[in-house]
Structure 1
Amino acid sequence: MIIASVFGMILIAMGFALKSQNELFSKIANPLKYVGLLIVVLGITSSLFVQIQAGKVGVKSLFGEVKPAILESGLHIVNPLYDVTPFDIQTQNYTMSASNEEGAKVGDDAIRVLSADGLEVIIDLTVLYRVLPADAPVIYKKLGVNYSDKIVRPVTRTRIRDNAVFYDAVALYSTKREEFQTRIYSSIEKDFKSRGLILEQLLIRNIDLPASVKTTIESKINAEQEAQKMIFVLQKEKQEADRKRLEAQGIADYQRIISSGLTDKQLQYESIKAQLEIAKSQNAKVILMNGKNTPIILSDK
Structure 2
Amino acid sequence: MRRWVISLGSAVLLLLLVGTACKTVGAGELGVMFRPFSGGVDLQRTYPEGFHWVAPWNSLIVYDVRLQEKEEAMDVLARNGLSIHMDVSIRFAPIPSELPLLHREIGPDYMNKIVLPQIRASARKVIGKYLPEELYSTKRDQIQEEIYHETDSILRTKHIHLDAVLIRSVKLPASIAEAIERKLRQEQEAMEYEFRIEKEKKEAERKRIEALGIKQFQDIVSAGLNPYLLRWKGIEATQALAASQNTKIVIIGNPKDGLPVILGTE
TM-score after normalising by structure 2: 0.73
- Matched residue, 2:167: 205
> Which structure's CA Rg is the greater one?
1
> Are positions 1:223 and 2:186 aligned together?
yes
The change in CA–CA distance for 1:125 and 1:34 in structure 2 (over 3 A counts) is same
- Report Cα offsets for 1:57-95 as digits up to 9, x if no partner: 1343659x9922265125444322334332333433322
User: More relative contact order in 1 or in 2 (CA 8 Å, sep 6+)?
Assistant: 2
> Are positions 1:276 and 2:239 aligned together?
yes
* Separation in structure 1 between the aligned mates of residue 26 and residue 143 of structure 2, nearest angstrom: 39
- 1:13-92 matched pairs, under 5 angstroms: 16=2, 31-54=4-27, 55-60=29-34, 67-69=40-42, 72-73=47-48, 74-92=50-68
- 1:1-301 matched pairs, under 5 angstroms: 16=2, 31-54=4-27, 55-60=29-34, 67-69=40-42, 72-73=47-48, 74-96=50-72, 110-131=73-94, 132-139=98-105, 145-173=108-136, 174-175=138-139, 178=142, 181-182=145-146, 185-186=149-150, 189-190=153-154, 192=155, 196-210=158-172, 211-284=174-247, 287=250, 290=253, 292=256, 293-297=258-262
Total equivalences in the alignment: 255
Q: In structure 2, the residue corresponding to 1:283 is in which secondary structure? A: coil
The change in CA–CA distance for 1:240 and 1:32 in structure 2 (over 3 A counts) is same
Q: Contact (CA 8 Å) 1:159, 1:188: kept in 2 or not?
A: no
Q: Contact (CA 8 Å) 1:159, 1:187: kept in 2 or not?
A: yes
* Separation in structure 2 between the aligned mates of residue 52 and residue 39 of structure 1, nearest angstrom: 25
Q: Contact (CA 8 Å) 1:130, 1:199: kept in 2 or not?
A: yes
- Matched residue, 1:22: none
* Separation in structure 1 between the aligned mates of residue 263 and residue 126 of structure 2, nearest angstrom: 101
The change in CA–CA distance for 1:294 and 1:157 in structure 2 (over 3 A counts) is same
Q: Contact (CA 8 Å) 2:23, 2:51: kept in 1 or not?
A: yes
* Separation in structure 1 between the aligned mates of residue 248 and residue 143 of structure 2, nearest angstrom: 94
Q: Percent identity?
A: 26
- Segments of 5+ residues of structure 2 without an aligned counterpart are none
Q: In structure 2, the residue corresponding to 1:124 is in which secondary structure? A: strand
Which is further off, 266-275 or 111-120? 266-275
Q: Contact (CA 8 Å) 1:57, 1:71: kept in 2 or not?
A: yes
Partner letter of residue 72 of structure 1? Y
Partner letter of residue 178 of structure 1? Q
* Separation in structure 2 between the aligned mates of residue 199 and residue 39 of structure 1, nearest angstrom: 45
Partner letter of residue 295 of structure 1? P
- Report Cα offsets for 1:73-119 as digits up to 9, x if no partner: 254443223343323334333221xxxxxxxxxxxxx1101112011
* Separation in structure 2 between the aligned mates of residue 189 and residue 207 of structure 1, nearest angstrom: 24
* Separation in structure 2 between the aligned mates of residue 250 and residue 164 of structure 1, nearest angstrom: 58
TM-score after normalising by structure 1: 0.66
* Separation in structure 1 between the aligned mates of residue 142 and residue 263 of structure 2, nearest angstrom: 91
Partner letter of residue 260 of structure 2? P
